[in-house]
Chain A
Amino acid sequence: MAFRQTQHGIKKMKKQLFAILVLLTSLTFAAEEDPKLAGDLIALAGVTEVKFFFLPDVPAEKIKPLNAIAIQSLKKMGTVIPKALNVQNPTEGMNDPNSSFKSPSLIYTIEKIKDLKGNFLPVSMATLELKAGVTIDRSKDYIQTDLWKKECFIQLDLAKNTDITVKDTLAYLLKEFDKDLIEAKKKKNNKLVFYFAE
């Protein structure tokens, strides 16, 4: 009798152990499936509009045609509204929830890469970063930080192939940004509003 009870107890324990094992395994898989979401992408969930700063490191006379290329790329992902800084009335719209004052800044840069000796390599690096002000819970300090950042490299000379280099890298980085926005929001991303800084 006692032997049967012991066997029954062991079977029950095995079942419980199996259940715990299954639970632990599923948790591990879940964590592996979506390792970024908890820390990295959660901040993107509320982003519906950004101030876009287009800062390619190219000669000044090339900026204007490149601006047109950038605006075209942005229009594929959202609405573009030109926005200049009113330096004499910088708080304009500060308390208006529909103004761009509080929007995070999305900054695009591209530059040629140098080697250790300072010689330029035939590679360019483009970066897209989303910056915003956040309050740190513990210290209550307010800081500007990167909410999201991605780089890409392209084996093209920025000086010689400026248009294509900027167009391709910007399209790639915006696509990545859009992908992460969708992941963060858990639904198809509504069209973003880009306040194009000029």
Chain B
Amino acid sequence: MKKILLTILLASQIFMSCISSEEIINYQNFHSFSEVIFFESQLIDSVSENNPQALSESYAARGETLLLNNQISEALNDFCMSYYYASQVQDEHISPDLLFRSLFGQALAYAYLDKVKEVECIATALLDIIQSIRCSDCSNKTTTLLSPRTIRNHPIFLLANNDNVPIHGPDQISIQDCIDLIENTRAYAKLLILKAPARVRGILTFTVDQLADTGRSCCRAGGVWKACFQPLANKYHLWNQKWKMFGIPPDPAWD
């Protein structure tokens, strides 16, 4: 009996760790903050200490929910934990993504706490990460069709490769259309920023602008458009999903 229980527990742990690293949490299945926080806490408990990537992601996810639930100090703790585990990840492509996510969360938390110096300091670190991402395989000013395998092996943009929102559409579009997409999404993201409290709008706007500028450079250099668009799309999708669900700010003014 013990053996069966142990096997089930082990299987569920493996299953949970797979979810945390491969799947996007669908927030539409939840109805309250406490449900999401409970689920995300379970995820953290289920992940092995030997899996810093999954731990970093799980802490960041719970930190974002705590932030939305106005539990700022708890959120800050989670983002610090997320950063700690992110710095242990050896993969040179995944690590910047995780560091970015945890730093971004910390910046928001400090902004809520009105700690301007800390926000400025983290904003500089965020900028360093964004600028360190190189646009590879796009030296020719063409929209070369790359195979999915090539894209996997030579990721052009990796700020968020684990929580990627699936993007549909043709494999190739023109550089102009790629730039238009980025600019369009930048403007839409600013509509979302208006839903956030005034004290965090500065850091949100800064991040969106940096992601959009880098995305635009990627388009101009002839990068694969989905890869250029992905980081901005991820942020947009995640905010929109969580904010829509929780009606942020919690006010009847928002449907």
Contacts and interface: CB of A to CB of B under 8 A. Distances in A.
Contacts of A185: none
Nearest to B196: A60
Interface size class of B (residues with CB under 8 A): 35 or more
30 contacts: A51-B187, A53-B188, A53-B190, A56-B194, A59-B197, A60-B194, A60-B195, A60-B248, A60-B251, A61-B249, A61-B253, A63-B194, A63-B195, A64-B253, A64-B254, A87-B165, A87-B185, A88-B165, A88-B168, A89-B168, A90-B169, A91-B169, A91-B173, A94-B173, A133-B183, A135-B176, A142-B175, A144-B179, A144-B183, A197-B188
Q: Which DSSP category, helix, strand, loop or mixed, fits chain A's interface? A: mixed
Contacts of A198: 191
A60 B249 contact: yes
A197 B193 CA distance: 13
Q: Which of B166, B184, B249 has the most CB of A within 10 A?
A: B184
Contacts of A63: 194-195, 253
A105 interface: yes
Contacts of B14: none
Interface of A: 51, 53-57, 59-65, 85, 87-92, 94, 101-102, 105, 107, 131, 133, 135, 141-142, 144, 197-198
Contacts, number: 94
Interface stretch (B26-34, B41-49, B59-67, B233-241): B233-241
A91 B177 contact: yes
A142 B176 contact: yes
B181 interface: yes
A91 B184 contact: no
Q: Which of A65, A197, A198 has the most CB of B within 10 A?
A: A197
